[in-house]
Amino acid sequence: MYNQLTPEIIEEIKKVSNNVFMGEEINPDYAKDEMPIYGTHMPDLAVQPRSTEEVAAVMKICYENNIPVTPRGAGTGLAGGAVPLYGGVLIDISKMNKIKSYDMENFVVEIEAGVLLNDLAEDCQSKGMLYPPDPGEKFACVGGNVATNAGGMRAVKYGATRDYVRAMTVVLPTGEITHLGATVSKTSSGYSLLNLMIGSEGTLGIITELTLKIIPAPKAVASLIIPYEDLETALATVPKFKMAHMNPQAIEFMEREIVLASERYVGKSVFPQEMDGIQIGAYLLVTLDGNSEDEVDALIEQAAELVLEAGAIDVLVADTSAKMKDAWAARSSFLEAIMEETKLLDECDVVVPVNKIAEYLTFVNKTGEECGLVIKSFGHAGDGNLHIYQCSNDLEEEEFKKRVDKFFDIIYKEATNCGGLVSGEHGIGSGKVKYLVDSVGETNMAIMEGIKRVFDPKMILNPGKVCYRL
């Protein structure tokens, strides 16, 4: 189906790029992402371009010679999206990492796609601005966030990555360079090719530059650690925040076991384990922001009254940067903590309606027991995006995969029945294609594949991902 790289093609690529790697020079991390259960496949050649024009030149050679190409950022994905399933050429855009300019009158920043989320967040903060998208992996490339439409903790108030992309530069599979969108806040100018590219996981084009919306940073921020006896009571509180017009920046839920694992990992205990003789079973971690300390203090009082009436055991206020850092360090380390203590691991980030979270998680935990898997869950209570990990330290990999497949078949079907979807922010990659088919149906899959064929007639860009089944 695809051609092999020949010495002649390699020489062509070397003429247009000074950053070419082959054989033992290739970084072994390029064979996988953060979830290696979906397989490891080395590329035949890797390129680290420094400009859009360099990406385009390499892509054009590969298109003309029918060579598969896999785009990659920091490799922090969790669905196999950056794994070069068919070898060929891997294009690593992580060295394209310049923050180019700010336009404070139009509230946008222009960056290269390889800029790390952490670097962009800190740079914006130094200018009194906020880039609201806040995915858990702070050292992912922003281009990768856009490619998966990453959500993160602040999505409940501010929206997902899609809501902050004004424009982008893209290299198409043919090697053509195109610009999508503009520095404007609305458009009715034909089909939204910009929004089609967002969330396409590198299957329609390679994003190289971005114009992103930013906002003035809130003047005051505080977080609340809210312990409950059980998860059901905790989750039942979540809709009450919005009904009370409080509009929290973030509402995260977590169960006892995953908090304990995270605190072991970070080496610091922040979340109480027992209060008033009651063992804590679950927590909400809520962040409130406002235009003044007085405004946030009033919100804290209102929130405390609300949650205590709803069954919370207590309310702990993290109102300094150090306290907030400690609270969120535990939350941000959940994945690393699970990986540290687990031999075999898989994950889904299913999204369901907010009022179905508790019912759905009860179903998930019961199904996990029936399938002989250890289940660890946490997620974004404010928007229904759940991170459900399947763990084992005892099973052989083949048996583990068999049980996980059965587990996924059941819980994704139930998510669809609840009005949910397969992924809220991590994407489909290669690992979740089967479950996407079952969820959206063959008609919608055919439409998506048709769109891919328009962008990529030879189907060489990130093959085997999202909608293209080989």
CATH class of 342-427: alpha beta
Who's near 321: CB < 8 A, 6+ residues apart? none
Burial class (CB within 10 angstroms; exposed 0-12, middle 13-18, buried 19+) of 267:
exposed
Determine what percent of the chain falls in helix, strand and coil, rounding each to the nearest 5: 40, 25, 40
Fold of the CATH domain 220-328: Alpha-Beta Plaits (3.30.70)
Backbone angles phi, psi at 355, to 5 degrees: -75, 0
Q: Taking the alpha carbons of 353, 355, 361, 366 in that order, is the dihedral positive or negative?
A: negative
What residue ranges in 321-461 does DSSP mark as E strands? Answer: 344-348, 374-380, 385-392
Distance CA 345, CA 397 (A): 10
DSSP state of 423: -
What is residue 141's predicted lDDT score, i.e. its pLDDT? 98
**pLDDT at residue number 270:** 87
pLDDT, tens digit (0-9, with 9 covering 90-100), for 49-108: 999 999 999 999 999 999 999 999 999 999 999 999 999 999 999 999 999 999 999 999
Residue 260 and residue 271: Cα distance in Å, rounded? Answer: 9
> pTM of whole model > 0.85?
yes
| Cβ proximity of 142 and 113 under 8 Å | yes
Report residue 266's pLDDT band, with 50, 70 and 90 as the boundaries.
confident
Per-residue pLDDT of 201-221, as tens digits, reads 999 999 999 999 999 999 999
Residue 60 DSSP SS3? helix
pLDDT of residue 269: 86
* Cα torsion 361, 363, 364, 366: sign: positive
- The residues with which 348 forms a beta bridge, in sequence order, are 388
Please give the mean pLDDT across all residues of the chain. Answer: 95
Rounded to whole angstroms, the Cα distance separating 8 from 4 reads: 11
- Could you read off the pLDDT of 301-328 as tens digits, one per residue? 999 999 999 999 999 998 888 888 888 8
pLDDT at residue 27 above 90? yes
CATH topology of domain 7-94+450-455: 3.30.43
Decide if 156 contacts 239 (C-beta within 8 A).
no
Helical ranges in 267-320 per DSSP H: 293-309
Q: Report how far Cα 380 is from the mean position of its chain's Cα atoms.
A: 12
Q: 3-class DSSP state for residue 26?
A: coil
| Fold match, 99-216 / 342-427 | no
Instruction: Please report the pLDDT score of residue 165 as a whole number.
Output: 98
Structural domain 99-216, CATH architecture: 2-Layer Sandwich (3.30)
The whole-number average pLDDT for the span 417-435 is 96
Query: What does DSSP say about strands 69-72 and 89-92: parallel, antiparallel, or unpaired?
Result: parallel
| Minimum mean pLDDT range among 281-295, 296-310, 328-342, 415-429 | 328-342
CA distance 158 to 218: 12
In 3-state terms, what secondary structure has residue 252? strand
Give me the residue spans of the domains in the chain.
7-94+450-455, 99-216, 220-328, 342-427
Cα distance between residue 410 and residue 403, in whole Å: 11
316-318/220-228 β-pairing: antiparallel
d(CA 146, CA 198): 5
End-to-end, the C-alpha distance of the chain in Å comes to 10
At residue 331, does pLDDT exceed 80? yes
To which residue do tokens 């939204």 refer?
192
Counting Cβ atoms within 10 Å, is residue 85 exposed (0-12), middle (13-18) or buried (19+)? middle
pLDDT in tens, 127-183: 999 999 999 899 999 999 999 999 999 999 999 999 999 999 999 999 999 999 999
